[in-house]
Amino acid sequence: MFTIRWTKTAEDTYKELKANAAASLKNRKASAKAKSTKNEGLFKQVHKTITQLAANPKHPGLQTHEYDSIKNPYDKASKVFEAYAQNKTSGAYRVFWCYGPKKGEITIIAITPHP
């Protein structure tokens, strides 16, 4: 099991997604609708991705692969990886991460929609 660390940008994005999901849930319950909103679903998917990263970064469902356009914040020679939070969706969200800075840690660098 890895410990999750966050960059400021990634943490802010995660908190924003969480707040949007909570607001959507509150509005949905007030209007007595049963179906989850897109905001709720997105947060659930991103949260699940991060939970799976902590448990097993090589989990096949994450479709983890190396990503070259972002530099590792700790060691420019080390790799940065991309994991899928969504797939086959317009603007599908991705989680960019790297190992470190310490052994047994993963740093979430960014959470962004795919261009």
Q: How far apart are alpha carbons 18 and 114 in whole angstroms?
A: 19
Full-model pTM: 0.91
pLDDT tens-digit readout, 48-106: 999 999 999 999 999 999 999 999 999 988 999 999 999 888 889 999 999 999 999 99
What's phi and psi for 8, nearest 5 deg? -60, -45
CATH number of 3-113: 3.30.2310.20
Write down how long the chain is.
115
Provide the strand spans (E) within 1-115.
3-6, 65-67, 80-84, 93-99, 105-113
Provide the token pair at 23. Answer: 């607001």
Provide the residue ranges of all domains of the chain, joining segments of one domain with +: 3-113
Which amino acid appears at position 51 of this protein?
T
